[in-house]
Structure 1
Amino acid sequence: MIIAAIAVCAALAVLGFLLPRLSRHPERGTQRALGTGSRLGRKAPGLLGRLLSKPFRSSARAVGRSGSAGRRARGRLPF
Structure 2
Amino acid sequence: MIVGVIGACVVLAVLAFLLPRLSRHPQNGAQRALGAGSRTGSKAPGPLGRLLSKPFSSSSRAVGRSGSAGRRARRHMRF
Question: If the TM-score is normalised by the length of the shorter chain, which range does it land in?
Answer: over 0.9
Give, in whole Å, the separation in 1 of the partners of 2:21 and 2:71. 8
Task: Give CA-to-partner distance per residue, 1:6-52, whole Å, 9 cap, x none.
Answer: 00000000000000000000000000000000000000001110010
1:12-31 equivalence runs, <5 A: 12-31=12-31
Give, in whole Å, the separation in 1 of the partners of 2:51 and 2:5. 17
Aligned residues: 79
Using the size of structure 1 for normalisation, the TM-score is 0.98
Structure 1: 5+ residue stretches without partners: none
Bigger helix share: 1
Runs of 4+ in 1 over 2 A off after TM superposition: none
Give the corresponding residue for 2:51. Answer: 51
Using the size of structure 2 for normalisation, the TM-score is 0.98
Structure 2: 5+ residue stretches without partners: none
- Percent identity between matched residues is 73
Give the corresponding residue for 1:78. Answer: 78
